[in-house]
Copies of this chain bind each other. A is one copy, B any other.
Amino acid sequence: MNIGDVSRISGLPAKTIRYYEDIGLIQPRRGENGYRSFQDKDLHKLAFLGRARALGFTIEDCRNLLALYEDDGRESAAVKHIAEDHLARIDEKIAQLHSMRSTLAELVNACAGDHRPDCPILDDLGHGQCIGADQAL
């Protein structure tokens, strides 16, 4: 199987698949002509990666999850630990976004949005308290 077929099946761009090989997540064989030759095992791994990425796991998480997936002697606690950490990170981000959202919604609501220059949004940005600015998302 060539990369194009794998891309169509997995839904991952060919570029991404090459990238995953580059960083050692998959090791497809090569044919005589130098083309990558994918097998079911690779396809399966790519599906795994696609789904893990869709759930927001980092590449490093994916690397670890893949290793656990292939380790028959794993303990499910290790997997759960990765997932729980990730869940916590997601919750943090959601909280951050909610906080931004509420401030922003207020400001948008207060702004007339007409041809006049008066604007509560700019007023706030210009004079509001700038808290920490913790590299928001």
- Partner-B contacts on A (CB < 8 A): 10-12, 44, 47-48, 50-56, 65, 68-69, 71-77, 79-81, 83-84, 86-87, 90-91, 93-94, 97-98, 100-101, 103-105, 107-108, 111-119, 121-122, 124-126, 128-137
Contacts and interface: CB of A to CB of B under 8 A. Distances in A.
A136 B77 contact: no
Given A53-B133, A69-B122, A80-B111, 10 more contacts: A11-B132, A47-B130, A51-B128, A54-B131, A68-B122, A76-B118, A80-B119, A86-B104, A90-B104, A94-B98
B126 A48 contact: yes
Contacts of A115: 75-77
A interface: dominant SS: helix
Given A48-B125, A50-B130, A90-B101, A111 B79 contact: yes
Nearest to A126: B48
10 contacts: A51-B129, A52-B125, A54-B130, A69-B122, A76-B121, A77-B115, A79-B113, A79-B121, A83-B104, A83-B121
